[in-house]
Structure 1
Amino acid sequence: MMPPKYADDDVTLTGEVPEPSTDPALVHHLADAVETAVGWAREADQLVAGDLTALDVAGAAYLVDYCKTARTHLAAVEQALANRIVAIDQAHRDRLPMTVPGLGVVEVRRSADRKAWEHDQLGAEVVRRHLAAAGGELPDPFDVARQVLAAAAPSYWRTGVLKALGIDPGDYCTTTPGRRTVQITTPTKGPGQ
């Protein structure tokens, strides 16, 4: 049986967020299950670094299927736990960001979904900004094309490049709130690593 999917909409609060469970056995059992899964995954990672020539197609296929199933279950657990953090953040805005000893800073962020770009107007603005930066002198047309391509991608624009030019991406597209994600920044790793 496949685990349930946890959509971001499932986190919408209709009342108070339940306080943490008073049953410490539940928390310890969940922690043990996740730690065991991570331990076995690390061991499997070391094993696949060795000689896999003994595996035939069927054996490898079964293991690939098991890995996909494990990843699906762990993703559902991760999403449920992240949803809990998001629910706490929505109910108690003063709790996050929070430094968790031995882990790092925990915070909830929201991405932005950008659609319906006004490509012609935004492309012209990128060219105007580069011309202004060049003191009004006409640069090589191929340089202009490279500058526009540095800011654009096939279906979206690179917002970091636009912001560096002083262009607000929201002025050239419709923007709606994206899904919430939980980011943990540890002292030894940066965000998302």
Structure 2
Amino acid sequence: MDALTALHNRVSTGKLIEPAPNERQRQNIFRAALRAADHAGLRPWRFLLVEGQERNRLGEIFLRAAEQAEAVPQTEAQRQRTLAMPLRAPLIIVAITRLQEHPKVPYLEQHMSTAGAVQAMLTAAYAEGVGVYWRTGPLASNPVVAEGLGLAENERIDGFIYCGTPEKAPRPAPDLQPDDFFSHWGAQ
């Protein structure tokens, strides 16, 4: 698939099943991340791969985090749903920004660089026929999750990228028109 076709047609795929991306697909997806815009060459991103039984351990971390964050104890159904969250895909990529003090590159820009790396991975995955979706939510900013994943003090989770084989063909991309979003500044 050529780059413009992937960029114009990429969509998230919610229902993911085995198998996870193979090694060739992974390398193409990972290499795409490394081309993200990166002011001052800080390379503020790093990624953790969670698969197999590690997904159950991540579910336990999610449950501890949710239980500590909630004022009301979770019901058994909520507990089981939280434990199963990482089982929604055969591979989860945790996107992490390593925040670095820099006189010209604020923290926000470092997060944006990680977001650019994630977007590049999503597009590369689409081109490879791999289903993916990007999740954030309260667990991404929960200190129990950060500690459970072994993040350093200067690291922040920017999302969980769920990867696998699409259960069904991806839906068509919405027909958005550039003129609805782009205009000349002076024409307002």
Shorter-normalised TM range: under 0.3
TM-score (norm 1): 0.27
Considering fraction of residues, name the structure with more helix: 1
Q: Which has the higher strand share?
A: 2
Larger radius of gyration: 1
- Normalization by structure 2: what TM-score? 0.27
Structure ranking higher on relative contact order (CA contacts 8 Å, 6+ apart):
2
